[in-house]
Amino acid sequence: MIRRAKPPWAEIAILVVAVFLRLWMLDLKPAHFDEGVNGWFADQMAQQGYYRYDPTNYHGPLHMYAVFVSQTLFGRNLWALRLPAVLASLLSVWALLRLAPYFGKFPARFAALAMAVSPAYVFFGRYSIHESWQVLFLAVTLCGILGLWQVGSRRALWTVAAGLTGLVLSKETYFIHVGCFLLAFPYLWLWQRVVPSSPDLKLATPQWSRSDLWNAVAVSIIVTLLFYSGFLLDFGALRGLYETYAAWFETGITAGGHEKTAYEIGPLNYYWLALMARYEWPALVGVVGCLWAMGRVDARVRYTAIFGAGVLVAYSIIPYKTPWCIISMLWPFYLVAGAMIEKLPVRFRYLATGLLIAASLPAMIHLNFDKFDDDSEPYVYVQTYSEIDNAMGPLLKKAAADPRFYHAPGKIFLESYYPIPWILGDFTAVGYFKELEVPEAMDPAFVLCSIENAETVQAALLGNYYRRDFKLRSGMKDGVAFFRYEDFQDIFGGRPDVIGAAKQDVLP
């Protein structure tokens, strides 16, 4: 009698939790500044026919193409904008589960569960940014490396090639992670001479040929060239593969306003550890576990600990620090923590797991469904406030009721206006100007400006307008939106707030 394998209910449950937390109320928080930029790039692809890679943008083209496809299929909305990153985040959880043959079921499931409910992975996994793709391909690369090490299969070779290609297509910081993957091997070899691993896994006999290697390399190069050249429509963009580092190193060294000097003790910067201590206890246990991994532990766990520690040190040295980068660092520590906890007696093993996972839940819930635009939360960074709806809501409502309004003229006078160009991407007659470019007279359907320029703008208005104040995001002046009375009377009702210079008559 043939016994059917039982479904992996634990893994299915982890994936279901991950799906729910990343998709539920996905459009709750407004589009972030970077999301607006990425969405705008995807909009330009519809006009140009391809993504024109800009090396000063620092990020690879993969995410832009994914957003373009998503918006083409599902429309220009927050769900479509964020869906590609959500899928990458979910696949990252799945990739950690696929590491079970190398770490064991418990460490892999612990890591996947920690990622599924992590405040960082849920919060930034619901953002349309590149980092979720980077995490996915990092996990894929480790899976391939360990496969080559333990099995030596052709499949593992292609897995490594796929992981590395995805990293190059995702974000310029791939060189940090690839360097740490490589440097972890000689460090592991040296430490083996001091404290041997247990077990000390020997390198498997390769089951792939030299032609397999060249085929994998060739496919990787071809795919990379296709994406960076706009699928052969812009060969000049290929220079960006190396030109990006001139701009990146300058920004990375000067920090561009993203330095975190408050977390410095002498030459040491503990910003990432501080974030882990506040939000990511499973990863913090894994950081401590790196010391345990220097003892007589499995060589694969030790290698992962060395790699993870190397990445953490590298990002700690770089002055440029934005909080979403942390998701590229946390996942190896989950694996190390799971391997260490597995050594506990069974009842303590699951007690420790429950306590660590429970510690993540309050912050994860508050961040994603309550405090997503609260600047007191370190993960909330350059986030658009919900008050933007005071300015955008009436415009979108008007256009939804009367599509002709998509062609109504509008003017925006702000020092920094993203994600507004993406939000108003379907509007055809919106002009974006610097704050000091207010004309002497104008009569558009709507105007947005900073509160400092509100009087100047108001004096230039020829018609009657409603006025609504709003806040775009931290670090910016408060904003003011003016809505033309004739267009928005059905939405606001009542008398206008501003009587224009050409309409000083008293309205009934």
For residue 6, pLDDT beyond 90: no
In this model, does residue 5 exceed pLDDT 80?
Answer: no
Amino acid identity of residue 277, one-letter, is: A
Instruction: Return d(Cα 251, Cα 258) in angstroms, integer.
Output: 9
pTM for the full predicted model = 0.93
Spatial separation of the C-alpha atoms in residues 309 and 98, rounded to whole Å: 22
pLDDT of residue 314 exceeding 50, the answer is yes
Residue 70 neighbours by CB distance under 10 Å: 23
Q: Whole-angstrom Cα distance, residue 421 to residue 259?
A: 28
Least confident of 52-61, 109-118, 305-314, 356-365: 52-61
**Sign of the four-CA dihedral 335, 97, 183, 167:** negative
Long-range contacts from 184-188, C-beta under 8 angstroms, 24+ separation: 184/303, 184/306, 184/307, 184/310, 185/303, 187/306, 187/310, 188/299, 188/302, 188/303, 188/306
Residue 497 within a domain: no
d(CA 54, CA 5) in angstroms, rounded, equals 50
Residue 505 has a pLDDT of 46
What pLDDT does residue 251 have? 61
Q: What is residue 414's DSSP assignment? A: -
The predicted pLDDT at position 249 comes to: 65
- Residue 54 CA to residue 37 CA, distance in Å, equals 13
Domain-located, residue 257: yes
* Phi, psi at 370, each rounded to 5°: -145, -55
| Spatial CB neighbours of 413, under 8 Å, sequence gap ≥ 6 | 433, 434, 435, 437, 438, 447, 448, 449, 450, 453, 457
Please give the radius of gyration of the chain, using alpha carbons only, rounded to the nearest integer: 26
Q: Answer yes or no: are the C-beta atoms of 172 and 63 closer than 8 Å.
A: no
CA dist 72 and 160 (Å) reads 31
Tokens 């930029």 sit on residue = 37
Q: In the 8-state DSSP scheme, what is residue 198?
A: S
390 and 350 housed in the same domain? no
Residue 36 domain flag: yes
Q: What are phi and psi of 372, to 5 degrees?
A: -65, -15
Tokens of 30: 């407004």
Instruction: Please check whether residue 237 lies inside any domain of the structure.
Output: yes
Least confident of 185-194, 265-274, 297-306, 368-377: 265-274
pLDDT for res 3: 63
The reply to whether 380 falls in a domain is no
- Structural domain ending residue among the three candidates 369, 398, 418: 369
Q: Where are the beta strands (DSSP E) in 204-274?
A: 264-265, 268-269
- The whole domain housing 129 covers 9-369
* DSSP secondary structure string for all residues of 279-325: H-HHHHHHHHHHHHTTSS--HHHHHHHHHHHHHHHHHHHSS---GGG
Judge whether residue 461 has pLDDT over 70: yes
Contact status, residue 331 vs residue 120, Cβ threshold 8 Å = no
Q: What is the pLDDT of residue 79?
A: 96
The count of domains in the chain is: 2
Pair 113, 212 in one domain: yes
Strand 430-433: give its sheet, edge to edge.
Answer: 430-433, 410-413, 446-450, 479-484, 465-470
Residue 508 has pLDDT above 60, yes or no: no
Same domain, 136 and 207: yes
Question: Is 245 or 430 the better-scoring residue by pLDDT?
Answer: 430
Shared domain for 364 and 457, answered yes or no, is no
**Quick one: tokens of 26?**
């996905």
Q: How far apart are CA 472 and CA 413, in angstroms?
A: 13
Closest among 368, 380, 381 to 18, alpha carbons compared = 368
Is 120 in the same domain as 259? yes
The percent of residues in the chain predicted with pLDDT above 90, rounded, is 76
Domain stop point among 335, 369, 403: 369
How far apart CA 331 and CA 329 sit, in angstroms, is 6
Q: What's the mean pLDDT when you consider all of the chain?
A: 91
CB 73 within 8 A of CB 61: no
The pLDDT of residue 132 is 96
502 in a structural domain: no
Q: Say what angle helices 327-341 and 299-317 make with each other, to 10 degrees.
A: 150
> Confidence class of residue 54 from pLDDT cuts 50, 70 and 90?
confident
Average pLDDT for 149-155: 94
Tell whether 297 and 257 lie within a shared domain.
yes
Beta strands in 171-290 (DSSP E): 264-265, 268-269
Pair 461, 390 in one domain: yes
Q: Are residues 153 and 302 in the same domain?
A: yes
**Which of 130, 418, 382 is CA-nearest to residue 258?**
382
Quote the percentage of the chain above a pLDDT of 70: 95
Beta bridge partners of 171: 59
Same domain, 300 and 268: yes
> Is there a domain that residue 320 lies in?
yes
pLDDT at 48 over 90: no
Q: Tell whether 274 is covered by a domain.
A: yes
Query: Both 288 and 409 in a single domain?
Result: no
- Domain termination residue (choose one: 306, 334, 369): 369
Regarding whether 397 and 365 lie in a shared domain, the answer is: no
What pLDDT was estimated at residue 58?
A: 65
Helix and strand numbers (H, E) in the chain are 21, 7
Over residues 345-353, the mean pLDDT reads 92
The b/e string for 127-148 (b: 16+ C-beta within 10 A; e otherwise) is: bbbbbbbbbbbbbbbbbbbbbb
265: which strand partners?
Answer: 268
Q: Which long-range contacts (CB under 8 A, 24 or more apart) does 7-10 make?
A: 10/109
Could you give the angle at which helices 9-23 and 78-97 cross, rounded to 10 degrees? 160
Same domain, 326 and 390: no
